[in-house]
């Protein structure tokens, strides 16, 4: 009988200890002023984010033609070496030529660039002209890309494959 009571007493003490422990823990967790977590919310206009980018249909069609017929000679960023036979069509070039100049160029070609008068319809030519006028200046390959370097990396003197 006495043994039994002792057993219960031990259990009671253990339970008490557990309760104290839990209470201490609850107090720690329940003291936000000690360790405040600041939650910031940033409202997004989800409708705007999920909406399709507004690319005019003719520019979109022109870009497809560009990728198929022109990019391999003009768009360095799309090429493994970044080097192309034709120049990067910077905004100053396309605005300098104007629509008529661009059309003339595409129709006639040069000794280094094919003529597109038989391979693009007048409507396709209009579309590709609309697209090239949207090529932004910052789409040009960077110095690092042209030199085959990681951005900002210093060239290793005498390294094999060094392009400097």
| Residue ranges binding ligand HEC (CB under 6 A) | 69-70, 73-74, 85-87, 89, 93, 97, 102, 105-106, 110, 112-114, 116, 128, 132
Q: Is 77 helix (H, G, I), strand (E, B) or coil?
A: helix
Of 137, 120, 139, 138, the C-alpha closest to 129 is 120
Least Å distance, CB 116 to ligand HEC, is: 5
Distance CA 119, CA 107 (A): 10
Of 112, 153, 154, 104, the C-alpha closest to 129 is 104
Q: Which is nearer to ligand HEC, 73 or 147 (CB)?
A: 73
Q: Which is nearer to ligand HEC, 97 or 146 (CB)?
A: 97
Q: Which is nearer to ligand HEC, 107 or 145 (CB)?
A: 107
Name the H helices within 30-110: 46-50, 57-65, 71-74, 91-108
Q: Which is nearer to ligand HEC, 79 or 145 (CB)?
A: 79
Least Å distance, CB 86 to ligand HEC, is: 3
Distance CA 114, CA 97 (A): 18
Least Å distance, CB 60 to ligand HEC, is: 15
Kindly state the tokens that stand for 77. Answer: 């960023």
Least Å distance, CB 55 to ligand HEC, is: 17
């Amino acid at each position: 009988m006495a043994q039994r009571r002792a057993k219960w007493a031990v259990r009671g003490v253990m339970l008490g200890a557990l309760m104290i422990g839990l209470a201490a823990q609850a107090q720690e967790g329940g003291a936000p002023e000690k360790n405040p977590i600041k939650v910031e919310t940033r409202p997004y206009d989800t409708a705007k984010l999920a909406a399709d980018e507004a690319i005019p249909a003719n520019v979109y069609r022109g870009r497809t033609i560009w990728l198929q017929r022109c990019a391999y000679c003009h768009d360095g960023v799309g090429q493994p070496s970044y080097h192309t036979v034709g120049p990067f069509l910077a905004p100053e070039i396309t605005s300098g030529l104007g629509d008529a100049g661009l059309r003339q160029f595409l129709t006639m070609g040069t000794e280094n660039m094919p003529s597109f008068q038989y391979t693009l319809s007048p409507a396709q030519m209009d579309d590709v002209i609309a697209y090239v006028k949207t090529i932004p200046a910052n789409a040009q390959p960077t110095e690092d890309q042209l030199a085959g370097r990681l951005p900002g990396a210093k060239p290793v003197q005498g390294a094999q494959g060094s392009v400097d």
